[in-house]
Amino acid sequence: MAALRYAGLDDTDSEDELPPGWEQRTTKDGWVYYANHTEEKTQWEHPKTGKRKRIAGDLPYGWEQETDENGQVFFVDHINKRTTYLDPRLAFTVDDNPTKPTARQRYDGSTTAMEILQGRDFSGKVVVVTGANSGIGFETAKSFALHGAHVILACRNMTRANEAVSRILGEWHKAKVEAMTLDLAVLRSVQHFAQAFKAKNVSLHVLVCNAAVFALPWSLTKDGLETTFQVNHLGHFYLVQLLQDVLCRSAPARVVVVSSESHRFTDINDSSGKLDFSRLSPSKNDYWAMLAYNRSKLCNILFSNELHRRLSPRGVTSNAVHPGNVMYSSIHRSWWVYTLLFTLARPFTKSMVFAFGDAV
């Protein structure tokens, strides 16, 4: 209890007294968790009472919350000129023990990204999000950053990427967020990104493959492949292969592939049931933008499933997600007809914050 007395919080409640070797900590967003230094593990429930708790109220006057070089939250008392890792509000915690709902009840179409991550501390975690300067990618990056993760926005347009970084820092000036160049339409750019990331000598705990194009007119990339197929699928496939060793070293780690329900409305097999490679990167005469998008999303799912089968024994899981019917992104910007249709459908769809809630 010496730490409590140091922070000016004498503990008189014997029921809440922690067993030897345990320490009480708090996350950035006010949730209490418990560290067992003997077994080197953490948990949300009090080791004696089994209760979950959260902080009530703001920090006392003169106090400020900081984060050290290891991502650990600590508190500065500017009046008495001292620091402590113990939240001074721990004397005013409230129980949080609602009846445990089912997963379906907890997360639905109206759940926001911040609600999904509530009570989670991603300090010390490294997250890469492709296409993170807008839309679902931006909400994903922002939500992870505001919960303590070191987030890298992997984007083609660095001007827009840096603007997105500034927007996140505007919400929390201590967020660990940066932008790096990644153009999925150029495989050499994917290679350069992987090399630059590895040069940082950091872990990779979450890789979100989010970037995508939609309704593009037919075109070939510099690598000679149809653009929708390369950007939506092959570029991410190559990126994961290049970063696979980092993911495995960082285990437990996760790959999240943003796919779409539209994968159901196509196939990539010929009439005999064999894979038809010409459908993946079709010629101009065989190209239809919507079908190309659907096929790329089907490839996303097949890739994610196989990746999970191969890497899950090594501690790396992979999940493909459908973010819901989203009309607030800019993915439809390539053709005015789709922009009109998306605008008309907006009242019946969900916003970015709800879409990411489904994706996590």
Strands in 109-175 per DSSP E: 126-130, 150-155
Q: Is 293 a catalytic residue?
A: yes
- What residue type is assigned to position 270 of the chain? D
**Separation of first and last alpha carbons in the chain:** 38
Q: What tokens appear for 71 in the block?
A: 């991502």
Q: Quote the distance between the C-alpha of residue 91 and its chain's center.
A: 33
Query: Which residues fall within 8 angstroms of residue 8, CB to CB, at 6 or more apart?
Result: 88
Query: Which residues fall within 8 angstroms of residue 177, CB to CB, at 6 or more apart?
Result: 141, 145, 150, 151, 152, 153, 165, 168, 169
356 touches 323 (CB < 8 A)? yes
A 10 A CB-CB count for 155 gives 27
Q: Strand pairing of 53-55 and 93-95? A: antiparallel
Q: What is the DSSP string of 297-344?
A: HHHHHHHHHHHHHHHGGGTEEEEEE---SB-SSSTTTT-HHHHHHHHH
Q: How many Cα atoms occupy the beta-carbon half-sphere of 45 within 13 Å?
A: 7
Rounded Cα gap, residues 12 and 236, in angstroms: 55
Catalytic residue among 85, 287, 293, 338: 293
Looking at the annotation, which residues are catalytic?
293
